[in-house]
Structure 1
């Protein structure tokens, strides 16, 4: 969800919550909210009321559309080649799965969360990892960068412009054997 949509959701939710609280208070017999809301329903202020309703309806439609539409990450592809016969594409999810497979084979890496971004020289890969405490973090990070860049190019032919590695945690827990 984009920052604009998050802000819209926050404002929309806050406004609806206030309205529901006011209407609930009126239904429970508290008369003060009636005087607050009565000003909105005067005939000479109908323009303000209908403008507010139009904004709320548009915001609701926008938020509904975001809720039912597919995620931004689903169905995204990178075009590998294009010929007279058509395109050869690889999904972002396939590249992420490849990155997970490559990085988890590096000794000392526990968890991997890759993210593919578009850069001017192909794709950029952002990797968030959890490692064990018995490794040298700069060496392992550099090894991850080199391996990911080489393997993604070798397997898909996609030029990797950058590989950014972030170590989220150094985990001392031993993996469970099942």
Structure 2
């Protein structure tokens, strides 16, 4: 939710910055006549309470958004990679998501016919969702190779990390055409 709010604030901030830049360019390039700019500034200092209210409101909004962005930039969040945290009787264990990805890739790469792999891990209530994208050689049955990948990845990750794997999804992105060379007899 905070990321959505920050994106919305960034959008508003960008629009306000764009508008202020356009007005500044129009003033400097003298497209807005000097007399009109002076009249606007005089009404700002004068008795036009509506204009003063609008300027104060916009200024406060810009100030608050700037403070929010400053806080986001300076806060010390979890700068390290996301991890899976477990508590044992001896203490806490943290396993990075990157470690789980590498374990999944290692197990899947050992399967026959697998050529290229990418993994993505999601932490869900029931354990880990592992999504694999692969390119296969096209020589092996796709249902057999994908089922074997799923089994191997699930067993390997659960055995090494002790974290239950709720699902392993395999997306076969493409097949690699193997070149067969015929020997020429002369």
Fold shared by both chains (TM-score > 0.5): yes
Structure 2 unmatched ranges of 5 or more: 179-186
Q: CA deviation at 1:26?
A: 0.9
CA distance in structure 2 between the partners assigned to 1:86 and 1:136 by the alignment: 45
**8 A Cα contact 1:102 1:151, kept in partner:** yes
CA distance in structure 1 between the partners assigned to 2:154 and 2:165 by the alignment: 6
Q: Which of 64, 72, 96 does residue 58 from structure 1 map onto?
A: 64
**8 A Cα contact 2:154 2:168, kept in partner:** yes
User: 1:14-49, CA deviations, whole angstroms, 9 ceiling, x for partnerless residues?
Assistant: 3212221221121111116966x9399465132332
- Provide the TM-score with structure 2 as the length reference: 0.71
Kindly report the root-mean-square deviation, in angstroms, between the aligned alpha carbons of the 2 structures.
3.3
Q: Do the aligned partners of residues 66 and 28 (structure 1) sit closer, same or farther apart at CA in structure 2, a change above 3 Å counting?
A: same
**8 A Cα contact 2:108 2:114, kept in partner:** no
Q: Do the aligned partners of residues 143 and 38 (structure 1) sit closer, same or farther apart at CA in structure 2, a change above 3 Å counting?
A: farther
CA distance in structure 1 between the partners assigned to 2:54 and 2:108 by the alignment: 58
Larger radius of gyration: 2
CA distance in structure 2 between the partners assigned to 1:141 and 1:69 by the alignment: 43
Residue in 2 aligned with 1:7?
8
Residue in 2 aligned with 1:110?
116
Q: Do the aligned partners of residues 64 and 171 (structure 1) sit closer, same or farther apart at CA in structure 2, a change above 3 Å counting?
A: farther
